[in-house]
Amino acid sequence: MCGILAALLLGGTPEANRRSVLKASKLQRHRGPDASAVYQTKDGNSIFSFERLNIIDPSDSGKQPFILERPQGRLVWALNSEIYNHEAIKAKQLAGVQIVKNSKSDSAIIGHMYEKMGAGPELWNALDGIFACVILDEATGQFTVARDPMGICSLYWGRGDDGSFWFASEMKSLQNACSSFDYFPPGHVYSSSTGRMERYYKPVWAEPGYHPTAPLDLTAIREGFIKAVVKRLMSDAPLAVLLSGGLDSSLVAAVAVRHLKEAKNTYSTNKRLHTFSIGIEGAPDLLAARSVAQHLGTHHHEFHFTVQEGLDALHDLIFHIESYEQVRAAVPMYLLARRIKALGIKVVLSGEGADEVFGGYLYFHKAPSPEEFHKETVRKTMRLHQWDVLRANKAPFAFGVESRVPFLDRSFLDTCMTVDPAEKMISMADRPDGRHPRLEKYILRKAFDIPEDPYLPDSVLYRQKEQFSDGVGYDWVNGLKAHADKLVSQAMWDSRESRFPDHTPTNKEYYLLRSIFEEHFPSKSALDTVPKGLSIACSTPEAIAWDPSWAGSHEISGRAMRNVHDAAEGFGHNTAHAAPFAAAAQLPSNDALEATILDAASTVSPAAAAPSTPAKENGTVPRQVKRSSSGRRIGTGVSHWAPRMSVDLNGEDDVSARHSLEDPSDIDEDVDDEEAAAAAEDEPGVVGTDVSHYAPRMSSDIPTTSSMGRSGSLADLAPRLDSSGAKRATHSRPAVAMASIRGSKPQEPLDPGQDARAAAFKGNFGTNVSHWDASSRLSGDWATAPEPEDASHGIDSSLLAAVAELRLPPGDEADPEAPEAPYEHFVPRLSMEHPVSLSVDGANAPARPDQKQSPARA
């Protein structure tokens, strides 16, 4: 891989032409820091400049541009590429051909293929890989330019005032030399002999009107992806995997680890795969990635960045990615690439493309039909060269690191994009395997769900989508917005239409990013390379029509889908029980230990409990929790439900991680404020689903004291229990969860120092795993409410701290050698911005939002 620049049919003097090309090529030298080379034709009017990153055949025989001497004249070509089937082409199409310079470079075959096949579609369709290529035939003076099917290798082209043609890996090398320029379209070839741009890549699944009907074949999907990953391990340089801990990157790492154990032709033979992650300290992706790396046994590197470091990088980042889109996600990738290069890594594999191919973004929950689902996956996939692929290519290349994306493998796309889209549709109420809901990318998950030979634990395989810019930490996105609000004055904002008449920014963040972009790229040509249109949670503009409430929206974060994935400020990081996986792995199994956890909202009436469950004298129902012999811990939730306790009140010993999403449609929409307040006092604890299987949810994110209707995430609370508890039913008055804080002495608040087991919990206020520290526990003392400005937890002083008390069953004595507070990593939380009621040793009292609470009550 490299940076290429070709300036053809120049009108100046040979010396002036060379100077201008060298100056332009230097602007993209970061793409190829290992070597530079220039070739100029005898007449001085055409020049190739090459900035090399040594990946395949680092010797001089791999040096470009390649020059094939022929009696009729030279054939010259330069290529930014990884041709994964180059050895097969040598053995078949080029059998007996002496490769130029005896090079082992994958790029060396192109000129010989041109000699045999010509410049048409046959040549480019024979290549399995990624490329941006320029070929000059000096015998005829004609040139040919082509780009890979998905546009993974960046390429731009433009025209000079003298009529010259310019081609470069990055547009910064063209903007001073060309009067106009644009990106070169993926899957196309241009021939100067015809003057036409021809589309050579024509997948049937992308044709208008095509509706896939192929039956689902999980084996084909699994084997196709394995092949896609394995071929991308081709390298004579160190390689690694970018690991976020989400499904996509984790599958890449899992397949790579398996293959490298048997690999014979890669740099990493007999070495552990390196994996890298980055985020704001405490971000959900960091903990999830750590868990996956531990499971796979990789050599894992975790890096943190601060909001200020991200802000400091904005100007350089936008210069390198040449866009004001994708900035949120590009900044952490850019910062990580620098650390990766410092450790000597030149190649990384990443998980881009899976969400487009399988409909993994959360807005796909709203797809109105399989037909619309497929159309949107096609739009997303075919436009990736302006979005995630652009970021994945240019952000790492800022430091000379090449990125490869196996999910966009051509053969794999043909397999997955021809599957009946009904198989990709999302239905959280549907559990085809009896265990997991049909969440996004379900068929990809099932393809690798092999219990007898697991690639990943269920906690990762069924982790819900978390967009990279969100997963690295919401503080980053929030900090970027706050920074824009500070720098973009109201006067500036009011005049936005006059300053930016074309594609006017829709918010201050985009105003700021657009301003920085135009500092580097002021031309209309540069602006036109950036995609336009509204988006909701990374949708295309066309998908906005799926939901009338999205009209006029422009929020690319997954937090825009609050009703699909609980993404409230400070709470919206869902790791679908990936977080407890890491903590659980560090704790010894101890079947003898049995705990009774009195969690928030567990104070339900005896009548509401499962019939076989005896009620305690004080009217609470104990939840018996036991660790299995395998040491498996209770998992957290999925989708927009907060982490929950998964327990069985009927007395079963083993507890497994479960996740469910019930239909919230039976919640009473017409509850008024007075009814809500009454419900909170009179019917405490009636929150959650069937208590025989699930404990009440810990996170409601109630925006106001008495806003109990279908608003915000409260509308998504599970249906309530009826008074008998025999079945799930609607409840006329949704009630608010009650916290049960029990002191060591009656009528006194709990002093952590009085009870070692309780002290170990330290209160664990808050709800979500993004705020857990390295030991998977929230920091902070339960008795002290956080200050409103405490951004480290994203919660304010009105947050109710739910305290869980660990007790041994009656008649048992504590084991002095047992680990202290073994369940601290999944202590139930209750998150309410404005608690309605609090139960302290049975004494209920309403808590108003404006009422200052005592430390014990807070």
Q: Which carries the bigger pLDDT value, residue 596 or residue 171?
A: 171
pLDDT value for 262: 76
Residue 434: band (very low, low, confident or very high) from pLDDT cuts 50, 70, 90: confident
* DSSP H or E run through 528: helix 524-528
Residue 484: band (very low, low, confident or very high) from pLDDT cuts 50, 70, 90: very high
- The pLDDT > 70 percentage for the chain reads 63
Residue 637: band (very low, low, confident or very high) from pLDDT cuts 50, 70, 90: very low
Within its chain, how far is the Cα of 700 from the centroid? 25
Concatenated DSSP letters of 393-450: HHHHHTTT-EEE-GGG-HHHHHHHTTB-GGGT--BTT--TTSSS-B-TTHHHHHHT--
Torsion angle of the four alpha carbons 93, 95, 97, 103, in this order, in degrees rounded to the nearest 10? 90
Mean pLDDT value across residues 763-788:
30
Asked whether residue 701 carries a pLDDT value surpassing 50, the answer given is no
Residue 846: band (very low, low, confident or very high) from pLDDT cuts 50, 70, 90: very low
Asked whether residue 186 carries a pLDDT value surpassing 50, the answer given is yes
Token code pair at residue 490: 């109201």
Nearest to 223 by CA among 502, 417, 416, 428: 416
pLDDT value for 466: 66
Question: Which amino acid, residue 760?
Answer: A
Strands 843-846 and 180-183: unpaired
- Its CATH architecture, for the domain 2-202, is 4-Layer Sandwich (3.60)
Asked whether residue 191 carries a pLDDT value surpassing 50, the answer given is yes
pLDDT, tens only, 505-545: 999 999 999 999 999 999 999 999 999 988 988 999 999 99
Question: Which amino acid, residue 399?
Answer: F
**Sign of the C-alpha dihedral, residues 784, 789, 793, 794?**
positive
- Tokens 């796909």: give the residue: 364
Asked whether residue 277 carries a pLDDT value surpassing 90, the answer given is yes
Distance CA 242, CA 407 (A): 14
pTM given for the model: 0.69
- Distance between first and last Cα of the chain: 58
Mean pLDDT value across residues 561-585:
36
Cis ω for the linkage preceding 65 (within 30 of 0): yes
pLDDT value for 284: 85
Check: CB of residue 743 under 8 Å from CB of residue 679: no
Asked whether residue 206 carries a pLDDT value surpassing 60, the answer given is yes
Residue 169: band (very low, low, confident or very high) from pLDDT cuts 50, 70, 90: very high
- Sequence-ordered alpha helix ranges (H) in 37-193: 86-91, 109-117, 121-125
* DSSP H or E run through 143: strand 142-147
- Tokens 């910064």: give the residue: 172
Least confident of 242-251, 487-496, 534-543: 534-543
Token code pair at residue 632: 């498996």
Asked whether residue 425 carries a pLDDT value surpassing 90, the answer given is yes
Asked whether residue 463 carries a pLDDT value surpassing 70, the answer given is yes
Check: CB of residue 563 under 8 Å from CB of residue 715: yes
Distance CA 686, CA 682 (A): 10
Asked whether residue 850 carries a pLDDT value surpassing 60, the answer given is no
* DSSP H or E run through 5: strand 2-8
Cβ neighbours for 338, distance < 8 A, ≥ 6 positions apart: 398, 399
pLDDT value for 537: 87
Cβ neighbours for 210, distance < 8 A, ≥ 6 positions apart: 204
Asked whether residue 265 carries a pLDDT value surpassing 70, the answer given is no
pLDDT value for 142: 98
Asked whether residue 2 carries a pLDDT value surpassing 70, the answer given is yes
- The pLDDT > 90 percentage for the chain reads 58
pLDDT, tens only, 19-71: 999 999 999 999 999 999 999 999 999 999 999 999 988 899 999 999 999 99
Domain ranges of the chain: 2-202, 218-469, 574-858
Average pLDDT, the chain: 73
Check: CB of residue 466 under 8 Å from CB of residue 564: no
Cβ neighbours for 249, distance < 8 A, ≥ 6 positions apart: 241, 242, 243, 289, 350, 351
Torsion angle of the four alpha carbons 378, 439, 688, 835, in this order, in degrees rounded to the nearest 10? -40
Catalytic residue among 2, 133, 178, 538, which? Answer: 2
Cβ neighbours for 368, distance < 8 A, ≥ 6 positions apart: 546
Least confident of 88-97, 121-130, 500-509, 556-565: 556-565
Nearest to 408 by CA among 153, 683, 625, 32: 153
Residue 563: band (very low, low, confident or very high) from pLDDT cuts 50, 70, 90: low
Asked whether residue 120 carries a pLDDT value surpassing 90, the answer given is yes
Nearest to 242 by CA among 257, 252, 233: 252
Q: Distances from the Cα of 73 to the Cαs of 40, 67, 553, 653, in angstroms? A: 14, 10, 58, 81
User: Is 2 a residue of the active site?
Assistant: yes
CATH superfamily of 218-469: HUPs (3.40.50.620)
Distance CA 33, CA 46 (A): 24
